[in-house]
Amino acid sequence: MFTPTDEQRAVLDTLPTADRLKVTAGAGAGKTAVLVQCAELMRGKKVLYTAFNRGIVQEGKGKFGANTDYLTSHKLAYDAVAKPYLKRLNDTTRQPGKEKAKLLRLLEPYRIGDLTLRPGTLARLASDGVENFCNGSDDEPQWFHMPNLDGIDQSESRALRQFLQPYAAEMWEELQLTDAQGGEKFPFTPNHFRKLWQLTRPTLPYDVLLVDEAQDSAEVFMDVIRRQGAQTVLIGDTAQAINEWAGARDAIQSFDAPELRLTQSFRFGQEVADEANLWLELLGTSMRITGTGSSLVGPSSDPTAVLTRTNGEAVVQLMQAQSSGRKVALAGTKAKSEIEQLCDAADGLKQGKGTHVKALMAFTYWSELQQYAHSEGRDLKPFVEVVDMHGTDVVRRALRELVAEQRAERVISTAHVSKGLEFERVKIGADFTEPTSGDGTPKDPSPQEIKLGYVALTRAQEQLDLGGLAWLRRRREREARGQSAGVHGGSELEVGR
């Protein structure tokens, strides 16, 4: 039986008279349970339960009443507009960048200093720009939809993106052609038909819209939601809005509606909540969470999960765990293939052939990547170091020895992938380091970095080993000692007077 907390009761009491409502729910605060009760209150109405991720929607099935449909934005779009595009949608043949370039009549390379971007690479970047456009609410592809490349300065990056924009616009124009109209040049993806659907300004056939994990909803879908006349409830955690790369723009914060909060976490104890609140304070939000019961914050010699900032550190952690005899799993359906692609890219760079892997496209030689990783590119440093120490063959062998999560003694995951998961004993990877300015002075992380740290440490249930995130606790303790010394110093001065 569901027994609501006072905060949960406030949501349920407000709902009947609210046309729009947003609920900010801390990590582990039982938000889906609240949405189930919201749907129950609306028993006589037609309800849509939706989220950005099919797994979340599938998990909700069976929890709500018969008046509720469970659909992602892609499923809503598919049912409405996808039929004329099914031939291309069902064609899973991969199209090489060279072929894209030929179709776009993109025949000459683009040079940035010593870097040469070949036509196939340019076509892939234009295609990525179309994907970015399709995740947003703009009506046409613009230069700012084109991807940035690491390793080149801002003015060069803008010039490249402006060069790519006409090719992206041409690609989008062709993608809008149906199968019957001869639209067959480029592969057609679910993001393409969702964008076409959004541009029709659809009206959803529901009385109530319940949007779960709303902070991660792509702007293309939120544009549809905001245009509806239905009663709308958004629920999620703005401090966990870490999916900007997928077009999410923290829909909760920008949604014009009264706000309520769920601050009690049922996932972890107060000790973990205290650590989380340090990061919420650093983020500048007034939100604070409380735990239920107690958890241990301290070193763990046998964590059930290690959460990292980068794929490179994930490789380091999985190799260390395997060397100690543990069965190791890598969380996420794409994590293994992404690391394999990085290994392929490293081999190409070592041969001076460059790479088509987007994260490393700005480099032709391994030495260039090494230099960048040890100066500006801290995200790439763990991977460069593990390749320099062990080589790509050893990394690939470690990947082959991975086991399924249900058989694993330890799960390795990036913080991004870990979102929505929880583990008994969590250790934070060493690549969560305190950011510094050019002269080595500590500085505050960006809001996205703060959110990523908050997500990582709130995955813990029973024990949290702060690892690379311990720097914030140490900083606050230093500040407290400094303030204390200042107070005592002031007292001594006054006595002397």
Q: Model confidence over 107-150: pLDDT tens digits? A: 999 999 878 899 999 999 999 999 999 999 999 999 999 998 87
What is the model's pTM? Answer: 0.86
Distance separating alpha carbons of residues 166 and 104, to the nearest angstrom: 10
* Contacts of residue 194, Cβ cutoff 8 Å, sequence gap at least 6: 73, 74, 77, 134, 220, 221
Q: Model confidence over 156-214: pLDDT tens digits? A: 999 999 999 999 999 999 999 999 998 889 999 999 999 999 999 999 999 999 999 99
* Contacts of residue 241, Cβ cutoff 8 Å, sequence gap at least 6: 215, 216, 248, 250, 252, 253, 451
CB 194 within 8 A of CB 74: yes
**Could you give the angle at the alpha carbon of 394 between the alpha carbons of 392 and 398, nearest 5°?**
115
Q: Model confidence over 315-374: pLDDT tens digits? A: 999 999 999 999 999 998 889 999 999 999 999 999 998 888 877 888 889 999 999 888
Residues forming beta bridges with residue 212, ordered by sequence position: none
- Which pLDDT belongs to residue 4? 87
What burial letters (b/e) apply to 181-215, b meaning 16+ CB within 10 Å? eebebbbbbbbbbbbbbbbeeeebebebbbbbbbb
What is the β-pairing status of strands 47-50 and 110-112?
unpaired
Instruction: Look up residue 307 and give its amino acid.
Output: L
Sheet containing strand 296-297, strands side by side: 296-297, 460-465, 423-428, 305-308, 410-414, 328-330
CB 214 within 8 A of CB 252: yes
Give whole-number Cα distances, 390 to 10, 17, 23, 318, 486, in Å: 56, 62, 48, 13, 50
- Which pLDDT belongs to residue 50? 94
Query: Would the CA dihedral through 303, 307, 308, 312 be positive or negative?
Result: positive
Average pLDDT value for residue range 430-454? 91
454 burial class (0-12, 13-18, 19+ CB within 10 angstroms)?
Answer: buried
Distance separating alpha carbons of residues 298 and 224, to the nearest angstrom: 45
**Selected residue with higher pLDDT from 452 and 35:** 452
Both tokens of 125, joined, read 């970047």
Taking all residues of the chain, what is their mean pLDDT, rounded to a whole number?
Answer: 91
Helix (H) or strand (E) holding 4: none
